[in-house]
Chain A
Amino acid sequence: MRLTRRTFLKGTAATIGGVALAKGVFEKTNTPAVAEQNEEITFTPERLDYYPPFDKWNNWREPDGDYWKLKGGALRNGVKMINYMLVPTVCNNCEAACGLTAWVDKDNLVVKKFMGNPFHSGSRGRNCAKGYAAQSQMYDPDRIPFPLKRAPGSKRGEGKWVRTTWDEALKEIAKKIREAITSGSELERKMIMYHVGRPNESGGFTARVVWTWGGDHHNSHTNICSAGGRLGGITWAGDDRPSPDFANSRLIFLSASHAADAGHYYQQHAGYIADARAKGAKLVIMDPRLSNSAGMADLWIPVWPGTEAAVYLAMISRLLQEDKYNRRFMERWVNWKSFLKDKDYLNYLKENGFISKLPEGETFDDFIAVLKEIYKPYTFEWAAEETKVPVYKLEKLYEMILWAGDRITSYFWRAQAAGNRGGWMNAGRTGYFLLVVTGAIGNVGGNGWHHWHVLGVGAKGGKATLKEKPKPVDDWNELLWPPEWPLSTYELSYLLPHLLSDDEWRKKWEKRGLKIPSKLKVWISKIYNPVWINPDGFRWIEVLRDENKVELPVNLSPTWSETNWYCDYILPVGLAGERHDNQSAETKPERWTAFRQPVLRVALQKMGWKPKVPWRATLEAHKKAGLGEVWEENEFWINLIWEIDPDGSLGIRQYYESKKNPGKPVTIEEWYDAAFGTLPKLRKVCEKLGVTPYEYMRDRGAWTEETDVYNVHEREVPYDPVKNAIKYKGKWIPLSECEIDEDSGAVYLKHHGADHWHSERHTIAVKKDGKFLKGFHTPTGLLEFYSKTLVEWKWPEYAIPIYPRDKEERKKMVHIVSHVHHDYMTEENAFALNPIFRLPYNIHTRSVNAKWLMEISQNHNPIWIYEGDAKRLGIKRGDAIKLRVVDTVSGIEVGYFVGMAMPTQATRPGVVACSHHSGRWRLRSTVKVDKYELGVMRYGTALADMKEEGTVRKIRWIKGVERFKVEKQGDEFKWPYPDFNKDMEYVWWKGDTGVWQNAVFPANPDPLSGMHCWHKKVLIEKAGPEDKIGDVVVDIEKTLKVYQAWRDVLTRPAPGPNNLRRPKWFPRPWYPHTDKAYRMPMGESHGE
């Protein structure tokens, strides 16, 4: 394994290239980006650089910091140089996909540290604490070193495990999947489910795998995350999130915590926000809690949760009344004509008292006149009353808006959108309206859109296989898309156990011709811990434990989790530096893409090592390097496909059969070479350098295809006057196959009455001034102030950005009023609970395997309560308090949890807050498997006692974290890394002051977006002598009833027009479905 320098160099000859580092990486320093060439060490270097020069990445010598401190360095007992190879990869700890470099010590094949990647233009060589903590995750003493299987004869959850092999797992899983596929039955196919948390791959590698199985198999986690944040963007622009140009904006107005805590593209966005502020930009944070962002902002708006629309509409109202709106932008890009033309709708507004008369004409000025009337009641005083924010703060905000002009950025994702019923209206729907009115869309310092900038190619390796693209699928799985939520932006994933538990519901829809499975044959989850992070976790346990409901639950997870405790297989796939993915994110007005890699494998291969079985190279490399039997997803899936369809008779194998080596699986190199090869500019550079796209990405890890991507909606769509056709996604579409909407200019495909039903439209361009422009992905091709689609789906009252003006209206428009609105806080001790905020150094449930992150966070999540409120209730710092969870739709009290009270000035009166990262638990501290003793999340969880009494479930902490000595176990691998873990004896935090609040939350699906509405009404009292911090008591029958109430009282189920299950222009994520799949079975009547 150890090679001479010479063979190593031979292996890397191809990597020498000279492409400049990404622009902006070192803009704040006056030193050039590369370290001096001098090999000698010196106390007084001529320059100080951030990263070594690229041409030395394969062979970088640097003194060992640990040795330095022990021996006192160069003046004392000397230095030890480490022979590093820098292998780029991508951080996996959040969606930002920042670049990493693994600093591999070539002499003993360990990763000494992770740092950033200067080639990554989004992250600029920088990382947050979680990025650096990747090393502590990699060498976590409690990680799982080989595949585990539930011990034969034991029950799920009993905690008995045996060691198994990847081959056995592949065989058993493949057999079940194959059975379902060969059955030819749609119902059987629906029993195969892949369920992913945050995939951290772009372009859909895994989605394509699942797609080739031929059914509707792909479930995600998204509706506990961001469905509410997305619906606002979709209804405005057909795109689900903004891509703000933070760095160039003047006002950063966030209802989020991107500036310091979290946010989708956390540290990258925070860095751009800091850059903007250094240039004079102002930061405003709207949050009931003092987030770290709010703590350093120029203005904190401590709004009552779910009333944000009032702030946006008050600003808009003032801008309109004072004629400060951006006329140029609005007139050109808002669908005001369609609105003014729809007299039925205008009449509807009149009948409901939003306007007093219909507008006289159909000009833009008439539109403005209507707006002025609609929004007039939304004054600052009214907004202050509704939001409980003092008027002076609103005045300040308004001044900043005027000052910033069209350079205002924002982000709508979680916050109010995730916390509240109607969050979508309170976030994106009214929030983007403010951006539209100021014209801050698409411009420098304004907001682009997700699709403009993201550049995922993960699924585009098909050219390397015998067959490139699977066909759209016919199936529609109601376990993913129950008919009650036709406008949901993603799968109703968190309802899976509820849907599987609810026979009545299934039968009701079966009567209407739908085929809904009552169980799952295989459930494969990846990067997902639903038991813990979803609401109603005990219901998940209930269903996962039931072998009649879930025949084979499998978890692809490198670490222990509450969920894999209840699975049959735990398959340890690799962490950030141990697997292949392509990942990109729209973190700035640029299109970059990055390559996650198993760094030890790359290092080994560069040093001349060759795998025996090329399509299992990562597993082989990890064994070779002593990491254990740790595989990666990509190769796992390819091998699984070959197990499912070994002879190709099912027609699935061909999608992963190598073109280069027919009859053999495609290799990672072939796949990603083809995938990255789809980027024209990258290809060109590679030709110049004489490397393949795969090699380029392997060596540098990131590529930026295009910079300064602004105003994409204004870009022209190619038009060929001879063919009379326009080019759309690489194909010429004759205009004869299209229709053009006269009011908006939208060019859409002729189809199922698309001229009448906006829900049927597929718009491919917008005609403006005789030119075809890209426009927006909506039925009108414009930004939709007025969404006719919503009218067609029986939600006319919410078709324009709107908010109830008084208590009466709040009762009528209940769907967009928060379920924790202050109207509902009728008791003395009633509070709104904000259970959604991130800590900058935690990542959901992924910190429990990183000692450095646990040391900071300590599994501690106290209840933030305003000091005044605490005093009123006689609550002191550190008191145990009981939070009884009460549903405001059904009135049902489902249970309670006991947390530690933390009186503070950092949350608003009436609203308490509790972070979700902590309150983690384990049922055992170690398990004996084979000859090994595996630790189970010992330093990040509390040891728990779980009890069942009828339908009531309870959990209580027995003790907190543990100190332990890490000793070598066997000679098979380096795990559990005693060298790296000498300090586990000094674990000093307690770990038993957290609480698993999610377990007490019933599922509360928003009637439109499908978002789980996280906030809860709670009644707070001091805990009794019997109660202990960490206690959870919940009745899972009651939580089910609450869910049913939300479903039955609030939703307006499918079908929509033409029997549609959802608007055709709301595409199904992951992979395409046929038109047939989109429609409910005909012949039944579903009218009102």
Chain B
Amino acid sequence: MRLGFLVDLSRCMGCMACAVSCKAENNVPLESWRLRVKYIDQGEFPETKRHYVPLRCNHCENAPCERICPVSALHYLPNGIVNVDHDRCIGCASCMMACPYNAIYIDPVTNSADKCTYCAHRIEVGLMPACVVACPTHANIFGDLDDPESEISKYLQEHRDVMVRKPELNTKPKHFYVRGSDVALDPLASERPEGFTLFTEVKFLEHIGGH
């Protein structure tokens, strides 16, 4: 079993249900996100467009975070999930330096590294991750990549525009996007000016974890 994720970006409406459901399910504290949704405005009036893109851990098959973790706090589960262990973690933040997708953060309450686990605990009892259940538009598709009959496998077979983020880094993400675009998936294809925007204050945190 290789669990994988796929987001159909033509369905995603940027509602953040996934992001908030994840907070509830995994008790993710303020200041931290296992899953975030980014908006990008593109183009000039009257042909302006807005892109929405949910970003979470890719559960890379060749995961730099797992490789660099000195104590195996990050480790693979038999179903392909890259799991975290707060008790084990020494808080060296190497994983944050290694993950090319910004998927890891230091949890300010536990002071350990944390990230999306594909809701590994729910998988254990045969339930979908919280963010998949939440999604109003069924943009989140989750399942076993090894099972050709799973919805995700079929989606992958039926779509020609499957993308992953930063394929050139050879991390082999198990998180796919369809109907995506460079603007949505490449962080350097848009500007991220610090300061207030239409919706929120876009910023970098001064503190990482409760040091």
Contact = CB atoms under 8 A, between A and B. Distances in A.
Does a CB–CB distance below 8 Å link A and B in the complex?
Answer: yes
Interface of A: 28-31, 35-36, 38, 41-52, 61-77, 79, 113-116, 125-129, 131-133, 135-136, 259-260, 267-268, 270-271, 274-275, 277-278, 290, 292-296, 300, 302, 389-390, 393, 839-841, 851-853, 855-858, 860, 862, 864, 866-868, 877-878, 900, 902, 904-906, 908-909, 982-984, 986-990, 993
B15 A390 contact: no
Contact of B29 (A76, A125, A986): A986
Residue in A290, A868, A989 whose Cβ sees the most chain B Cβ within 10 Å:
A290
Contact of B138 (A44, A69, A268, A274): A274
A69 B44 contact: no
Nearest to B41: A906
Contacts of A877: 193, 195-196
Given A64-B121, A295-B48, 7 more contacts: A73-B121, A79-B124, A129-B21, A274-B136, A862-B198, A877-B195, A983-B29
A70 B86 contact: yes
B15 A63 contact: no
Contact of B13 (A114, A259, A866, A878): A259
Contacts of A64: 121
Contacts of B121: 62-65, 67-68, 73, 79
Interface residues on B, range: 35 or more
Interface string B132-157: 11111111001110000111001000
B62 interface: no
A48 B108 contact: no
A290 B126 contact: no
A271 B127 contact: no
A127 B124 contact: no
Residue in A44, A839, A877 whose Cβ sees the most chain B Cβ within 10 Å:
A44
A121 to B, nearest CB: 15
B75 interface: yes
9 contacts: A45-B124, A45-B125, A115-B133, A128-B17, A131-B17, A267-B17, A841-B20, A986-B29, A987-B30
Contacts of A270: 13, 15, 136-137
Contacts of B124: 41-43, 45, 63, 74, 79
Contact of A51 (B26, B133, B135): B133
B79 A852 contact: no
A1065 to B, nearest CB: 37
A68 B117 contact: yes
Interface stretch (B92-100, B169-177, B199-207): B199-207
B16 A983 contact: no
A831 to B, nearest CB: 15
Contacts of B130: 65, 113, 115
A841 B15 CA distance: 7
B127 A127 contact: no
Given A41-B125, A292-B52, A300-B46, A855 B30 contact: yes
Interface of B: 1, 10-11, 13-17, 19-21, 23-27, 29-31, 39, 41, 43-52, 73, 75, 77-79, 83-88, 108-110, 114, 117, 119-128, 130, 132-139, 142-144, 149-151, 154, 193, 195-201, 205
A43 B1 contact: yes
B45 A866 contact: yes
Nearest to B139: A274
Contacts of B83: 72-73, 75
A35 B14 CA distance: 29
Contacts of B143: 48
Given A72-B83, A290-B41, A906-B198, A129 B15 contact: yes
Nearest to A295: B50
A549 to B, nearest CB: 40
A65 B26 CA distance: 5
A76 B84 CA distance: 10
A38 B126 CA distance: 9
Contacts of B144: 48
Contacts of A77: 85, 87
A393 to B, nearest CB: 7
Given A75-B75, A274-B11, A840-B13, A905 B123 contact: no
A30 B29 contact: no
Given A43-B79, A855-B30, A993-B196, A292 B13 contact: yes
Contacts of B110: 69-70
B11 A853 contact: no
B17 A132 contact: yes
Contact of B136 (A71, A128, A987): A128
A78 to B, nearest CB: 11
Nearest to A901: B196
Given A68-B121, A274-B11, A132 B20 contact: yes
Contacts of B77: 43, 73-75
